[in-house]
Amino acid sequence: MKKLTINEIAEMVGVSKTTISFYLNGKTNKMSDETQKKIQQVIEETGYTPSAATRTVKASDDCIGVILGDVSKPFAAKALKGIEEEAHEAGYQVIVGNNEMSFAKEKEYVEHMLKMGVSGLIIQATYRFGILAMELEKKNKKIIYLDIPPYDSQGVRVLGDNYQCVYDAISQCIERGYDQLLVVSDANESEYTGMDNLRGFKDAANDAGVSFKTYFIEAETTREEIHDYLEQYISEYKKTLVYASDVEALRKVYLGIKLFPDFQSLFPERLGLIGFDVTGWTKIAVPEISAIMIPAYQEGQIASRKLIEMIESKNSISNKKVIIKNAVRWRDSTL
C-alpha cells in the first residue's frame, strides 16, 4: 500500500500542510477542537505514520516575500505588522524589501527573493511590475497586490475603499456648508494610491458644483510655507475645507495651521480640516481632527492570509479584489 504524504492528509482533512505539521508537533494552542478531531480521525482511519522529517517540516517554500514602497511610512509599517503576524501564525517566514517605487529596486528584490526560495509575494507594485509578474507566474509564484497594482493588472488585490470613502466624506462636508475647497497633496502622489484619494475628492466637488484648488507639497515643504499659502487662501466670508490626501500631508497641514495666532478659533466655522490617518494621532491633536482611518493592519492580515491560501490551495482565488472599508471619524476640526 502506498505511503500517504502530509499533503494528502492535509487534503483529506481540508486544511494546510502547515496545520497538519503543527498538530503533529503538538502546536495546537491556537487550533480549534473541531480541527484537531478531524485530523486525528483521518490519521486513525488511514493509519498514517509521519516520518521524522515530516514532523519537523519547514521547507524553504514556507517563506513569502514582501516588497513595500517604504516601510518607514505609517501605512507600510502597520500593513507589515499584519502580514508578519498572519504569516507567523501559519508557519511562514517573511522576507522584506523596500522598492521606494523604483522598478530597478523592485526587480532586484524579486530576483533576490526568488533565490531565497519564496513561494509568493505581497507587493506595493510600480506600474512596470507587470513585466516581472509574467515571469513569476511562469514559475508558479503567487502574487498579492497591496493597494497598488501594476498597469493593466488582473491579479489579486487587497485595498481600502479610498475612492468611495473620500467621495462620501467630502460630499458630507459640502452639505455641512463648506463652500471653498482646497486639496493638499504630495507632488509625487500619482505614483501611489493617492490617485484614488484625489479622484474621490475631485468627483465629489465637481458633482456638487463647488470649485477647488490643489496645492502640491514636496518632502522639503516647510510648515511656514504651508501657513503662508493657507493665509492667502482662507477667507473671512467663506467656509474653507482643507482636505489632505495622504497621511504625511495631513500632519504637515496641521503643523502649518498651528502657526496661526489663536488657531483653534478658526475651527470649524471658518476652517475645516480632514485627511488620512493610520496611527490615530488625530484623536489626541488639539483640536481633534476629522480623519479617514486606513485599516492598514487589516489589509496586511488579509493579504497574507490570501497569499498563503493561494500557495497551499490547488484552486485559484475567484475574488480578484478584496476591498476593506475605511472608517471616517468626525471630530472637532469639521462642522
Kindly give, in sequence order, each residue whose CB lies less than 8 Å from that of residue 190, ignoring residues fewer than 6 positions away: none
Q: Which residues of the chain have pLDDT under 50?
A: 56-59, 190-192
pLDDT digits (tens, 9 = 90+) for 227-241: 999 999 998 889 999
The answer to the question of residue 331 being in a domain is no
State the Cα–Cα distance between residues 216 and 182, nearest whole angstrom: 11
pLDDT score recorded for residue 51: 62
The answer to the question of residue 288 being in a domain is yes
- CATH number for the domain including 257? 3.40.50.2300
- Based on the domain organization, do 44 and 67 belong to the same domain? no
The answer to the question of residue 328 being in a domain is no
CB atoms under 10 Å from CB of 97, counted, come to 19
Q: Which of 292, 261, 283 is nearest to 167 (CA)?
A: 292
pLDDT score recorded for residue 19: 83
pLDDT score recorded for residue 17: 78
pLDDT score recorded for residue 151: 72
- Based on the domain organization, do 305 and 236 belong to the same domain? no
State the Cα–Cα distance between residues 329 and 274, nearest whole angstrom: 9
- CATH number for the domain including 29? 1.10.260.40
pLDDT score recorded for residue 189: 59
The answer to the question of residue 1 being in a domain is no
The answer to the question of residue 198 being in a domain is yes
State the Cα–Cα distance between residues 126 and 94, nearest whole angstrom: 21
Three cell numbers at 293? 482611518
pLDDT score recorded for residue 58: 47
- Residue 178: which domain range? 162-295
pLDDT score recorded for residue 24: 82
pLDDT digits (tens, 9 = 90+) for 97-131: 999 989 999 999 999 999 988 999 999 998 899 88
State the Cα–Cα distance between residues 248 and 281, nearest whole angstrom: 12
- Based on the domain organization, do 50 and 117 belong to the same domain? no
How many structural domains compose the chain? Answer: 3
- Based on the domain organization, do 197 and 286 belong to the same domain? yes
Helical (H) or strand (E) element with 98: strand 93-98
pLDDT score recorded for residue 205: 98
- Based on the domain organization, do 69 and 112 belong to the same domain? yes
pLDDT score recorded for residue 61: 54
